Structure 1
Amino acid sequence: MATLILVRHGRSTANTAGLLAGWTPGVTLDERGAEQAAALPGRLAGLPLAAAVTSPLERCRQTLEPLLAARPGLAVHTEERIGECHYGDWSGRKLSELADEPLMKIVQQHPSGAVFPGGESMRAMQARAVDAVHEWNARIAREHGDDAVYLMCSHGDIIKSLVADALGMHLDLFQRIHVDPCSVTAIRYSPTRPFLLRLGDTGDFATLAPPRADTAAAADKATEDGGNAVVGGGAGAA
């Protein structure tokens, strides 16, 4: 079966503003996110990518632009099912405000029971993403062979839910997983089981150091230290 390279989009304007973007229109890469996207072709230079698949949201399409420019023959496809979770009425709101919502405890501790008001459940989010990956695995293998490598550009909660599925973890444990903006996660699928090869790899170990107090990463770290995962994935290092 195919090897899937999952790329989270680069840091966005919503990430740095501390907003839960969801499908809110007009969310683009910020300056740091554009730099991350520009570095992506070099980071993936050794991989013979058969195809690229992207969430329809602008921040993902922008993240892939430098890679597609560097590889003009690379086919790119849009896949709605790997688009961000539909957070409904939570979309566009500040994460600091959402922390006090009763639903946040469910999102953190029992996400399989979480349904966003006016949006979708986290179970439905994971199910559609997993279905999309399995269908694309079969298509890529059929068109390019069982050893093919392909890329999907998606979102933090989507990638975390796919990793949880690959590891055989219940969705209620997926908040233990973290992927930074423009990080690379790799899963090799076989007929009997997936193998997680990379998780949230940015190639920068400096991101493991404590963040400065004046950065968005510091706010993310404070949330994690308090026991909560950053819904939507957070802003990563400055």
Structure 2
Amino acid sequence: MPGQRARKEGALVSLVLLIRHGTNDWVHGRLAGWTPGVHLNEAGRKQAESLAARLVPVPIHAIYTSPLERTLETARALATPRGMPIHIVEAIGEVKYGEWNGAELKELYKHELWPGVQHYPSGTRFPGGETLGESQTRMVQAIDTLRNRHPKETIAVVSHADMIRLALAYYLGIHIDLFQRLAIEPCSLSAVSFSKMGPRLVCYNDLGTLDHLIPKPEEPTPAKDEQPQPEQSAVVEQPQTEQSTAGDAESAKSTETGTS
């Protein structure tokens, strides 16, 4: 189990369980983002119940969640059998996609910023939203704040695919422009332990099954004649260095395949 492996690393180990919410009807088709009213569907509820059952042997001392419905419902599935409260943390909420919230992916494929999102995400700002650098900063700061409240303990952080990817990229030393190489499935579990030796990935994208390795039908991709030309200029801004705190402060995949 993740907790047992992490505890073998030595004293003063904190364990953070990074959990993506269960699936919903927006996965693959639309970018849910901060759109209200996106709930787990039946499959998503079953995923959350299954994860809760698998985590029974793992002692969890606190459960923190993004404020969006799909994460709240996933967190409650973990908390209810344990009789635990859940704590909402704004900073671990979804990437702020701005004007792209709720948009159909087939329309986003045509947007002039799409190439930037795919190939230069560290320097591309979502229209009316934030850069992924800003998203990563608030996510990592929130996790660090929360884990420091729980030395030698295990906490669950229920968040979204891109946010978990960004956190893992930071702790593993992976550049943001490569973060989409990390796959985070709906209701998957990734675990990072923290000790004097630094962060260590002890569990990654775990679903308790190998079903996600079975080939699936290809997802729709933008037609060649619909793709923006490479020479088209995209609005590119450098990530801001402003940092938020945990107090200030979904799809199934990244913005490449649609995060819901």
| Aligned-pair CA distance for 1:198 | 1.3
Give, as a single letter, the amino acid of the residue that structure 1 aligns with 2:18.
L
Query: Unmatched 5+ residue regions in structure 2?
Result: 1-12, 223-252
Report the count of equivalent residues: 218
Choose from 48, 59, 63 the match for 2:70. Answer: 59
Cα contact 2:105–2:258 (8 A) shared by 1: no
Cα contact 1:12–1:235 (8 A) shared by 2: no
User: What's the TM-score once normalised by structure 2's chain length?
Assistant: 0.79
Cα contact 1:186–1:197 (8 A) shared by 2: yes
- Residue 226 of structure 1: aligned partner: none
User: What's the TM-score once normalised by structure 1's chain length?
Assistant: 0.86
Distance 1:108 1:138 in 2: 34
Choose from 165, 171, 181 the match for 2:170. Answer: 165
- Trace 1:82-231 onto structure 2 (pairs within 5 A): 82-141=92-151, 146=152, 148-211=153-216, 213=217, 218-219=218-219, 230-231=254-255
| Aligned-pair CA distance for 1:230 | 3.8
Cα contact 1:164–1:174 (8 A) shared by 2: yes
- Secondary structure of the residue aligned to 1:198 is strand
Task: Give the ranges of 4+ consecutive aligned residues of structure 1 lying more than 2 Å apart after TM superposition.
Answer: 232-236
Cα contact 1:2–1:149 (8 A) shared by 2: yes
Q: Please give the root-mean-square deviation of Cα atoms over the aligned residues, in Å.
A: 1.9
Query: Unmatched 5+ residue regions in structure 1?
Result: 224-228
Distance 1:235 1:115 in 2: 16
- Residue 19 of structure 2: aligned partner: 7
- Which gives a bigger RCO, structure 1 or 2 (Cα 8 Å, sep 6+)? 2
Choose from 1, 16, 32 the match for 1:21. Answer: 32
Larger radius of gyration: 2
Compare the two structures and name the one with the higher helix fraction: 1
Distance 1:157 1:93, change over 3 A: same
Give, as a single letter, the amino acid of the residue that structure 2 aligns with 1:109.
H
